[in-house]
Amino acid sequence: MSTTSVESLQAPADAGASLLPLLLANFAMVAGTYAFVTIAGPMARRMHLEPLHIGAIIGVVGLVWMAVAPRWGRAADTRGRLSTMRAAIVGFVASSLLLAGYVGWALRDGGSAVPPVWAGLVALLVTRAAMGGCYAGLPVAATAWIADRTPATGRAAAIARFGAAGAIGVVLAPPLAGWLAGFDMTLALAVFALLPLVGLVGLRRLRADGVHAVRQAPPRLKPTDPRVRLPWCSAFALYSAVMIANSVLGFYVIDRLHVRTGDASMVVGYALGSAGLGLIATQSLVGRLRAVAPLQWLRWGALAGGAGFVSALAAEAAHPLLLCASYFVAACGMGAAFPAVAALASTRVEPHEQAACAGAMSMAQGLSMVVAPLAGTMLYELHPAAPFVSIGVVLAVVFVATCGAGARAPAA
């Protein structure tokens, strides 16, 4: 066993003390991300953008994410976990402010002087690509930081706490962003663009010490590696399900539930807030039940998530609360599955491969951001129910695949 592995097993107290600043950073970054998702549909209507345009704007984030995630992993090894997280936060804030500035300019004078569609599409593509490329660095470096300092048996619980902090952002950001957007969309974007600075301040409490600070000659880990193939494919399916559901939600609320465009942000905010509550509840449970294997959490989480998303089809115009309930159930499943795939991959690789593993797993999230929004909006154009049916099928495949997979002994 390597020196890094020994130190990580001997430092659970250090991990607990260090985790709070990471939780603050993740909360702020996720909140900033979901603020845009909340108002994307109504903003598209006001800027004369089509659903496929929004799909491309959301999808470009994943394209950049997929390209830069391995580089963030190497940066976390060579430059240190903390400096990598700081760089990611600063870049995210800067690009978010640029996006808010453009939206404010485009919707000036009450939206009477909206620029051409092509100009809005290019501006949003560029700024969202920059946001996604910067945000990719936080989970990669943070997951490596947690893996450095957490024993294998407690890694799923620690990752679940990190995810639960992001889920709090999912709960708080959409309702607040929807409420602020009712007054001014630019104000909503600007508030959440600055929020990640809270995480940047929190990271100052951490020290880059010892073998955790900087590593040389970082290893490379491909998604095709047999050790991470199952968790990588499962992560891609899980993230794709969430991205499909979120990318069509605003349009679904307007077209299927017949909510006015001006009120759609609020309804979307409530649905995503309900999902955040489900994530918090389940990830808190995962953090406490350490005896349950990650493969079990992944299996039943995928099943519950698929059932929740498919049940959203039962929502009618008179019952928007049913949509919130469906997203809550779906998020309960996702809250069990997300930390499970990260922990499953982490325990299957060597201690010196943790950052490379985190970068490879993050590529699954990036690829889903490319494929899922475009696929979701194309399916939505065929029929509003098609995206949710496809989610049910994808998560059923994950359930079947995990039922046939045997748990492997952790490598760390």
- Whether 227 is in a domain gets the answer yes
Kindly give, in sequence order, each residue whose CB lies less than 8 Å from that of residue 392, ignoring residues fewer than 6 positions away: 306, 307, 309, 310
Q: What is the pLDDT of residue 25?
A: 85
Residues lower than pLDDT 70 in the chain: 1-18, 109-113, 152-156, 167, 170, 207-221, 223-224, 262, 291, 315-318, 351-353, 404-412
Kindly give, in sequence order, each residue whose CB lies less than 8 Å from that of residue 404, ignoring residues fewer than 6 positions away: none
Kindly give, in sequence order, each residue whose CB lies less than 8 Å from that of residue 62, ignoring residues fewer than 6 positions away: 132, 243, 365, 366, 367, 368, 369, 370, 371, 372, 373
Q: What is the pLDDT of residue 10?
A: 35
**Residue 36 corresponds to which amino acid?**
F
- Whether 23 is in a domain gets the answer yes
Range of the domain at 123: 3-204+222-403
Domain with residue 44: its CATH number is: 1.20.1250.20
Burial class (CB in 10 A: 0-12, 13-18, 19+), 183: exposed
* Contact indicator for 132, 365 with CB cutoff of 8 Å: no
Q: What is the pLDDT of residue 329?
A: 92
**Residue 275 corresponds to which amino acid?**
A
- Whether 190 is in a domain gets the answer yes
Q: What is the pLDDT of residue 109?
A: 65
Q: What is the pLDDT of residue 407?
A: 42
- Whether 351 is in a domain gets the answer yes
Instruction: Read off the tokens for 59.
Output: 């999808």
**Residue 33 corresponds to which amino acid?**
T
The residue count for the chain = 412
- Whether 176 is in a domain gets the answer yes
Q: What is the pLDDT of residue 210?
A: 45
User: What confidence tens digit (pLDDT) does each residue in 269-299 have?
Assistant: 788 778 878 888 887 787 777 767 788 888 8
- Whether 209 is in a domain gets the answer no
Token pair 């993230």: residue: 239
- Whether 197 is in a domain gets the answer yes
Rounded CA gap, 214 and 212, in Å? 6
- Whether 216 is in a domain gets the answer no
Domain count, the chain: 1
Cα end-to-end distance, the chain, whole Å: 8
